[in-house]
């Protein structure tokens, strides 16, 4: 007779097999259901978006591989070394060689990724490349101000100078021509914000007291979201805008029309365009 206090040996193998059968069944059903599975990333529309996506998926596959490997080993060890009737614990010290391997391999992978991403990072962020784009005669310059909780955009008028009376000012709506570099002069009036164009794959924090230059070039006409990616207060999620990309002719016509519609700009009285904590 068995002791009433004796615990019955568990059978995790049966549970694991059942889980795998259900998982495979769900994948097969979904694959044949005709349901459209959305892509992970929004549509890439900038000249460097594909470079960013390539880097993203390389990292995703590396992380995914090691996730499956480590979780598979975890399940294997849970099953292999589960509690058994009459089993005894055995002390083991471990392996210094194994510890060195799993320290060296991740370090080597991180180093390779750092080298691999340098070209893309330099294309988007390095000052020399930004200066080269800014000097392009076809480049469009736009001042972008983050302010709780809205985006402000300012375009120079016919005098090509910011901070004069013929400036064009828009809130939550930015226009840009396609296939031309756009240089954004980023500033914040109050706290940290982050200027994020998901479709262009551009994200840059705005720091109080600094003007930060970034650039992008959109290759497809359309309307794309502008988002704040930095927690900036209680209404952070409402800090959104739109980027409208159009032809050169439409952009020039819009800029000319806005110049006629807006009231004369008074830079000395318009505090949105002042640096953070700058005295009036």
* Mean pLDDT rounded to a whole number for the chain: 84
Measured CA angle at 132 (ends 127, 138), to 5 deg = 135
Rounded CA separation 238/236 (Å) = 5
Band of residue 84 on the pLDDT scale cut at 50, 70, 90: confident
Band of residue 45 on the pLDDT scale cut at 50, 70, 90: very high
pLDDT digits (tens, 9 = 90+) for 217-246: 999 999 999 999 999 999 999 999 999 999
Looking at the predicted structure, is the pLDDT value of residue 148 above 50? Answer: yes
**Overall fold of domain 138-273:** Immunoglobulin-like (2.60.40)
Q: What is the pLDDT of residue 263?
A: 60
User: Which is nearest to 161 in space by CA: 129, 177, 185, 126?
Assistant: 185
Rounded CA separation 214/125 (Å) = 7
**Across 34-45, average pLDDT:** 74
Structure tokens at 30: 């979904």
Q: What is the pLDDT of residue 13?
A: 60
User: Which residues of the chain are in CATH 2.60.40.420 domains?
Assistant: 138-273
Cα end-to-end span (Å), the chain: 92
Q: What is the pLDDT of residue 30?
A: 64
CA torsion through residues 187, 256, 177, 241, sign: positive
**Across 135-158, average pLDDT:** 92
Rounded CA separation 184/151 (Å) = 12
Looking at the predicted structure, is the pLDDT value of residue 109 above 80? Answer: yes
**Across 69-96, average pLDDT:** 83
Q: What is the pLDDT of residue 261?
A: 76
Q: What is the pLDDT of residue 1?
A: 45
Out of 83-87, 125-129, 238-242, 264-268, the most confident range is 238-242
């Amino acid at each position: 007779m068995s002791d009433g206090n004796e615990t019955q040996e568990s059978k995790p193998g049966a549970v694991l097999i059942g889980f795998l059968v259900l998982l495979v069944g769900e994948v097969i059903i979904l694959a044949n259901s005709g349901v459209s599975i959305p892509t992970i990333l929004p549509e890439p529309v900038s000249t460097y978006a594909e470079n960013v996506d390539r880097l993203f998926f390389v990292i995703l596959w590396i992380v995914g591989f090691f996730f499956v490997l480590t979780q598979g080993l975890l399940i294997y060890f849970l099953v292999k070394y589960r509690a058994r009737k009459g089993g005894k614990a055995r002390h083991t010290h471990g392996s210094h060689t194994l510890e060195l391997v799993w320290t060296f391999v991740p370090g080597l992978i991180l180093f390779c990724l750092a080298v691999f991403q340098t070209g893309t990072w330099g294309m988007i962020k390095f000052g020399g490349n930004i200066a080269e784009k800014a000097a392009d005669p076809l480049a469009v310059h736009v001042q972008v101000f983050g302010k709780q909780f809205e985006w402000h955009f300012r375009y120079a008028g016919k005098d090509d100078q910011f901070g004069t009376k013929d400036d064009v000012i828009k809130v939550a709506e930015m226009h840009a021509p396609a296939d031309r570099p756009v240089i954004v002069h980023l500033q914040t009036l109050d706290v940290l914000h982050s200027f994020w164009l998901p479709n262009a794959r551009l994200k840059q924090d705005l720091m109080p007291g600094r003007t930060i230059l970034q650039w992008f070039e959109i290759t497809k006409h359309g309307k794309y979201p502008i988002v704040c990616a930095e927690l900036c207060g209680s209404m952070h999620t409402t800090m959104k805008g739109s980027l409208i990309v159009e032809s050169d002719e439409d952009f020039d016509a819009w800029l000319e029309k806005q110049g006629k519609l807006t009231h004369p700009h008074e830079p000395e009285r318009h505090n949105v365009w002042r640096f953070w904590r700058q005295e009036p």
